[in-house]
């Protein structure tokens, strides 16, 4: 029998997606990079959040290992309003809910049982210029530093 080792990026990604689902931050929450338009975005006010893998850096394998994982969090809203005011207000509210839940997740004692999360930060948030109205969206770059050394 071989022990199945799970990469830290997947452990962190799955834990965040599960936490956002429990918190019900959006109408649709998915792992990966689905097209927002294909997830019910034809309904006014509908919201979608996805979390996908970006990259890992600073991987140190000494004594169990440690490193940094970067994930992308996408937030999308559908707004059939005539101007951007209501859409941006809805997008801002969704981003705020997502960020609050990520902060709550990160402040737990051992949010991922297999590894210790040392630090979590949102490096940047940017609008998505590749999506067309009535859908508005943004990306957040989320970085988590992890360690197995202290376990």
Q: In this predicted model, what pLDDT tens digit does every residue of 88-141 receive, in sequence order?
A: 999 999 999 999 999 999 999 888 988 899 999 999 999 987 777 788 899 999
Strand stretches in the chain, DSSP E: 28-31, 47-60, 66-78, 116-127, 135-147
Closest CA to 28 of 135, 128, 38: 38
80: enclosing H helix or E strand: none
> Could you give the percent of the chain with pLDDT greater than 90?
50
Structure letter (DSSP) for residue 2: P
Pairing outcome for strands 135-147 and 28-31: unpaired
Q: Per-residue pLDDT tens for 36-77?
A: 555 566 677 788 899 999 988 877 776 668 899 999 999 999
Q: Per-residue pLDDT tens for 68-102?
A: 999 999 999 988 888 888 889 999 999 999 999 99
CA dist., res. 23 & res. 37, Å (int): 22
Quote the pLDDT of residue 150: 58
Contact 138, 127 (CB under 8 A): yes
Structure tokens at 17: 């997606």
């Amino acid at each position: 029998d071989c022990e199945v080792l799970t990469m830290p990026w997947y452990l962190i990604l799955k834990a965040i997606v599960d936490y956002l689902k429990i918190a019900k931050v959006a109408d649709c929450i998915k792992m990966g990079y689905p097209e927002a338009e294909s997830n019910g975005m034809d309904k006014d006010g509908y919201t979608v959040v996805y979390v996908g893998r970006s990259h890992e850096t600073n991987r140190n394998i000494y004594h169990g290992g440690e490193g940094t994982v970067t994930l992308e969090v996408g937030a999308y809203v559908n707004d059939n309003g005539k101007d951007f005011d209501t859409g941006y207000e809805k997008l801002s509210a969704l981003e705020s809910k997502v960020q609050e839940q990520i902060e709550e997740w990160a402040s737990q004692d051992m949010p991922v049982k297999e590894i210790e999360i040392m630090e979590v930060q949102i490096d940047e948030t940017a609008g998505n210029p590749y999506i067309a109205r009535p859908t508005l969206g943004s990306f957040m770059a989320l970085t988590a530093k992890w360690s197995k050394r202290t376990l």
